[in-house]
């Protein structure tokens, strides 16, 4: 009986560990989705973001009728290019 009780305890510990891993995984997904959902507000909208490495990224930002391609790093950001907002151009043609 002691062996069976020991095996049941070990299986219980594995089940608790699996539940903790499951909850940690979905909590991190939830936090990531909250961060993505908070990326737009007012007139400025982040259209797309591409990570080049851990501290460098390219960001397409929409502001009124223009879009900007911005290079971002830890120490600075640079506006690489600006162009007409495609969404506004498509709406005007229709």
Q: Answer for the pair 23, 7: CB distance below 8 angstroms, yes or no.
A: no
What whole-number distance in Å separates Cα of residue 68 and Cα of residue 50? 14
Per-residue pLDDT of the chain (94 residues; tens, 9 = 90+): 789 999 999 999 999 999 999 999 999 888 877 766 555 456 888 888 999 998 899 999 888 888 999 999 999 989 999 988 765 545 444 4
Which helix (DSSP H) or strand (DSSP E) does residue 85 occupy? none
Contacts of 39 (CB under 8 A, 6+ apart): 45, 46, 49
Q: 8 vs 12, 20, 34, 70, CA distance in Å?
A: 6, 18, 39, 57
């Amino acid at each position: 009986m002691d062996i069976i009780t020991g095996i049941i305890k070990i299986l219980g510990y594995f089940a608790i560990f699996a539940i903790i891993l499951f909850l940690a995984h979905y909590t991190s997904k939830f936090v990531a989705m909250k961060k993505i959902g908070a990326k737009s507000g007012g007139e400025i909208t982040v259209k797309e973001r591409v990570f080049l490495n851990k501290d460098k990224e390219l960001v397409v930002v929409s502001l009124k009728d223009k879009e900007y391609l911005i290079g971002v790093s830890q120490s600075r950001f640079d506006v690489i290019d600006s162009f007409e907002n495609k969404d506004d151009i498509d709406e005007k043609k229709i």
